[in-house]
Amino acid sequence: MQCVRRQPARTKSQESLYRAQMKTTARNNMKHLGLEDDGDLQFLMNGGDLLKVRSGSWKKTRYYKLQEDCKTMWHESKKTLKSKQTFSVEDIDEVRTGRQTESLRKYTEESVEGRAFSILFKGRQKGLDLIARSEEEAKKWVGGLEKVISNIKNLTPQKKTEHWIYSCLRKADKNFDNKISQKELKSFLRDINIEVSEDYAEMLFQKCDKSKCGFLEGKEIEHFYEILTQREEIDVIYEEYAKTDGLMSAADLLNFLLHEQKEDVSQNDALQLIEKYELDENAKAKQQMTKDGFLMYLHQPEGLISNLAHENVYQDMNQPLNHYFISSSHNTYLLEDQLKGPSSTEAYIKALLKGCRCVELDCWDGSDGEPVIYHGYTLTSKVLFKDVIKAIQENAFKTSEYPLILSLENHCSVEQQKIMAQHLISILGSALITKPLGDQMPTCLPSPEELKGRFIVKGKRLDKLEDMFSESKTADEESVTEEEDDEGDEEDQEKKSSKTKLLKLAKELSDIVIYCKSVHFHGFEDSQDKQSFYEMASFKEGKAVKLAEESANDYIHHNIDKLSRIYPAGLRTDSSNYNPVPLWNAGCQIVALNFQTACPEMDLNRGLFLQNGQSGYNLKPSYLRDRDTKFDPITLPDGPWLKNKTLHVMVISAQQLPKVSERKSSIVDPVVKVQVYGVPADTTMVETQYIENNGFNPMWNENFQFDVRVPDLALVRFSIEDYDSSSNNEFIGQYTLPFNSLKKGYHHVPLLTKNGDHLSSAGLFVHIMVVDAE
């Protein structure tokens, strides 16, 4: 949130002009969003009081109002006008009705359920817990906000650009006369992230000032907008293929799709694109596409860089679980660092909504007989185990319907382990796996397809799974494990008097560990001889990396039959992450990362699991599933994995990059980096020259070439930074995707923030070509 500076007092005439302009602005923006006569939106714009809840003793009334731009919420204290703050509707991740956050459940009574709602933000911004004056008003607040969020999200890129530019133009019109002077024009250009010389600003102004009266208005402002948003590079491409009276016929468009985009399509596909994206009804009637329609297509899913078919589940989901890479989180309960950061059910919800399929629960004895989750021996806050299980049950399958693994790090007494088992069984119900599928002892793990909508508990087990099918007496709660594994963090291991310290297990908790029994790793030979398919080891980051570097083929063979979980070093108290790629190269399935930390490593994780419908399960390449494989990512012997591709990337331009500094005078100097991650021989990085003082429409037209030997394991990361010659560049945005998801031809690359949220309107424009290496 940012404070709003007080403006100097206006004269009466200025105030009158201002109010009239604001009403017109509001009407235009409501119309722009398709909500011109919407009662809920009008309610938001009129504003009202809400009770803001922070704790049991901090509950204060605040006045909230949607501003005239229809995307900024403004609020102030009722007592004083000095405390005014704003936040963007585009920063809202979710509006949640009822007492559905920890704070509202803890600090409010059930009687306010119908009046309560929460605004949750993207990234680490703290959410707002609010109570309306009535249930009817609560519905209007929630309904209005959801409509604005939805309609902004569904605006076409052109409409978003138009909306943003005209908002900036109105902001630049200091005296509210609906005219733009040359000085105001220069200020406006800074607002949209361009710094130009006085000579260029004057030239641009004179070009638009047809009336020669010293300011721009009406049609002149429209002409200025057209000059500003002209895409030279799009003009060149369009004119190359628009061979029918200056427009693209279906045949022309098909020619473009076949020769530039290398797509396997027919003229009927071209006609469908015209019908779907052409804006001009006359052109559409003639089955033609204008330049605006062509640009619209290039901004849509069909024109983006990622293969549209990969947005759905397209891989075989009937293989055993151990044949998949599984999106996995470490210390899922933490929102920040691992020493004093808060633990929260919200952290689980965020991870699950991002497609995570393995979450960690660090369980300890709590007061009043209720187990808690937190990072042991630290100052991190605690959250009740049962509250976490409830949050998991409610959100587990919203993003992915495939199985969720609950990785238990168990430090509880036997009594509280029994309570853990009770909560798991009662809350998760029939969705919890409590016995193997089928009537006989299985010989391999079930598939993601067979386990759709099911929960799998990973933890210690007192006996073997085979004992469930024998008539012999099973172990009781006094039995103990033979040896604790490496699952605890490194600092925990140092606190233990012996690594063979025995741990008592409650039979009730042991009995619901079916397919993921935790065991200690004693070496590849030992695991081959003694480890069952349902038994799995956890590896410290350092140990796993060493095995992947020094014994890669042995590690790959181990991971063909068994699951492996990797977790960050205990010294990463700041919740930083390690590079997951070398572990994926060695076939490790559950490579657990700190989801709460925005970093390049999480970009890679997000990029890998972008495919296959963001299901959180990616089928490993065949040579990481074949028991006779000779694959080694380090030495790269000959084999079917060597597909030797040459990737050509032309970085052409970028559009509407955000400022990285709040200072009005700060304009970005963008530089683009293209990185390939994969086997060591494929890993490389290149970068463009930086463009000085232009974040609005920088142009590079730079070509790069990459040799990719093992494309199945390669990821491509595009990132844009603000160049700084005296210090580290500042991050602007990035996008990572699997090499095999790249589309050929001209494409826009959407940009994500550090937290993985889309940067509205911002993007990169590139040309991609992939050919067999000579």
Token digits for 106? 């803890």
Catalytic residue among 330, 423, 557, 747: 330
Q: Is 246 exposed, middle or buried (0-12, 13-18, 19+ CB in 10 A)?
A: exposed
Helix (H), strand (E), coil (C) string for 278-298: CCCHHHHHCCEECHHHHHHHH
What is the distance of C-alpha 536 from the center of its chain?
29
Query: What is the residue-wise DSSP string for 534-557?
Result: TEEEEEEHHHHHHHHHHSHHHHHH
CA angle 435, 439, 444 (to 5 degrees): 70
Query: Taking a C-beta distance cutoff of 8 angstroms, is the pair 236, 255 a contact?
Result: no
**What are the Cα distances from residue 629, in Å, to 278, 524, 587?**
51, 16, 12
Residue 454 token pair: 């099911």
Angle, CA of 382, 388 and 393, to the nearest 5°: 175
CA dihedral 631, 636, 638, 639 (to 10 degrees): 40
Q: Is residue 737 within 8 Å of residue 747, measured between CB atoms?
A: no
DSSP for 384-434, please give it.
EHHHHHHHHHHHTTSS--S-EEEEEEE---HHHHHHHHHHHHHHHGGGB--
Beta strands (DSSP E) in 105-258 are 116-121, 128-131, 180-181, 215-216, 248-249
Partners of 249 in beta bridges? 288
Question: Three-state DSSP class for 573?
Answer: coil
CA-CA distances (angstroms) from residue 10 to 83, 358, 549? 20, 58, 69
Q: Is 411 designated active site?
A: no
Is position 330 annotated as part of the catalytic site? yes
Q: Tell me the two tokens of residue 650.
A: 């032309």
Residue position matching structure tokens 């490993």: 620
Residue 373 CA: distances (Å) to CA of 126, 131, 366, 576, 682: 21, 29, 9, 20, 41
Alpha carbons 570 and 559: distance in angstroms, whole number: 24
Q: What is the spatial distance between Cα 112 and Cα 119, in angstroms, rounded to a whole number?
A: 16
Q: CA 92 from chain center: how many Å?
A: 14
Query: Where does residue 503 rank: exposed (0-12), middle (13-18), buried (19+ CB within 10 A)?
Result: middle
C-alpha to C-alpha distance for 216 and 198, rounded to whole angstroms: 17
570 DSSP 8-state letter: T
- Give the distance, in angstroms, between the CA of residue 554 and the centroid of all CA atoms in the same chain: 34
Residue 9 structure tokens: 């007092």
CA distance 356 to 606: 10
CB distance 469 to 441 below 8 Å = yes
Beta strand residue intervals within 202-301, DSSP E: 215-216, 248-249, 288-289
Considering the candidates 375, 423, 558, 767, report the single residue annotated as catalytic: 375
Give catalytic residues, as residue numbers: 330, 375
